[in-house]
Amino acid sequence: MDNIKEQIMKVMSTVFEVPSEKITENSSPDIIESWDSLKHLNLILALEEEFDITIPDEEVGNMHNFKLIELIINECKK
């Protein structure tokens, strides 16, 4: 697994307070119970700090599963 993937998973596990093995490529608010709208804000802020990026306004609401998060972060890092 590449580094960015791993880093995202680590942040998600920390923010949602779930063990890291519970975070998969299919993780979404439907699967992770603690992923509500408030925790979603915390996730955005944590990811921005972790990768030193600013996620565009229109993408903030889109990042609702692991694959999209990874895609958008890679986009921002370019």
Contacts to other proteins from residues 18-37, by CB under 8 A = 37
Q: Which of 8, 9, 11, 32 binds other proteins (CB under 8 A)?
A: 11
| Alpha carbon distance 15, 75 (integer Å) | 22
Of 6-14, 20-28, 63-71, the segment contacting other proteins by CB under 8 A is: 6-14
- 41 or 68: CB nearest other proteins: 41
- x/- letters, 34..73, toward other proteins (CB under 8 A): ---xx--xx-xxx--xx------x--xx------------
* Exposure string over 13-23, b if 16+ CB within 10 A, otherwise e: bebbebeeeeb
Picking from 10, 53, 65, the residue whose alpha carbon sits closest to that of residue 1 is: 10
Q: Which residue carries 């590449």 as its tokens?
A: 2
Of 11-19, 25-33, 65-73, the segment contacting other proteins by CB under 8 A is: 11-19
Q: Which residue carries 């993937």 as its tokens?
A: 5
